[in-house]
Amino acid sequence: MLGVTFRELGAAGSEASLPRATFPELVRRAAVAARTVRSGPADLNWVREILTPEEHDLWSRQSPFDQDHVVQVARRVERRLATTRHANDPRWIGAALMHDVGKTQAGLTPLERALATVVGRIVGLEAARRWAAGRGLRSRIGAYLTHGEIGARMIRAAGGRPEIAAWAEVHQSPHGAVRLGIPQDVVDALLESDVA
């Protein structure tokens, strides 16, 4: 079931605004990034234990800000799943750690990310995909807006776990996540944990 892609679910034609982050949220995240928040050595060792070497290679290409963000998300997921049948399942912690890896292809600054968020409220998903195939800032904005799909392709190409690629692909619009084999309580934990 995890071999099914988001595009095959029929949701790819949706013109939903992406990403899920709001403009004020991105401004707040940029302020946090300006303080150079970084994960400590214990967090970095924990990430290495959770991810496969191939996944870790992709993860380590993220900016320090993005690394810190996904570590915080993964820690929250770990706490939320601690009392469920999914406790200690590294696939779901890995999904939290890898969900934004596609942003590395965009290479946007915090200010450009804020711009991309505003643009994402105006253009649809299909337009963002067309932009991502182009060049220049418009291409980078398109890549940012479709970073889930891009990240999923990167994870699959690197030999990452299918569950992790599936979550990366649908995390921006997770309506089909359960049909991809991600349990609903895991989807809920991942979504609730993905706050700045």
Residue 125 contacts residue 16 (beta carbons within 8 Å): yes
Cα gap 33→72, rounded to integer Å: 13
Confidence of residue 186 (pLDDT cuts 50, 70, 90): very high
For residue 24, give both structure tokens. Answer: 């004020």
Q: Which of 53, 158, 52 is nearest to 102 (CA)?
A: 158
Query: Is the confidence at residue 101, as pLDDT, over 90?
Result: yes
Beta strands in 82-131 (DSSP E): none
Can you give the pLDDT at residue 23?
A: 65
Reduce the DSSP state of residue 108 to 3 states and report it.
Answer: coil
Please state the rounded mean pLDDT for residues 150-174: 94
- One-letter amino acid for residue 27 of the chain: V
Please state the rounded mean pLDDT for residues 98-123: 92
Can you give the pLDDT at residue 43?
A: 93
Can you give the pLDDT at residue 38?
A: 64
Cα gap 189→75, rounded to integer Å: 11
Length of the chain, please?
196
- One-letter amino acid for residue 79 of the chain: R
Please state the rounded mean pLDDT for residues 88-96: 96
Output 152-158 pairs: Cβ under 8 A, ≥24 positions apart.
152/5, 152/6, 152/102, 153/102, 154/58, 154/101, 154/102, 154/104, 154/105, 155/55, 155/58, 155/98, 155/101, 158/54, 158/55, 158/57, 158/58
Please state the rounded mean pLDDT for residues 111-116: 90
Can you give the pLDDT at residue 184?
A: 92
For residue 167, give both structure tokens. Answer: 């979550």
- Flag the least confident range among 5-19, 64-78, 79-93: 5-19
Query: Is the confidence at residue 180, as pLDDT, over 70?
Result: yes
The rounded percent of the chain whose pLDDT value lies above 70 is 81
Query: Is the confidence at residue 124, as pLDDT, over 90?
Result: no
The domain locations on the chain are 41-193
Query: Is the confidence at residue 5, as pLDDT, over 90?
Result: no
Residue 117 contacts residue 26 (beta carbons within 8 Å): yes
Cα gap 176→101, rounded to integer Å: 20
Confidence of residue 19 (pLDDT cuts 50, 70, 90): low
Tell me the pLDDT of the chain averaged across its residues. 85
Cα gap 16→182, rounded to integer Å: 21
Confidence of residue 10 (pLDDT cuts 50, 70, 90): very low
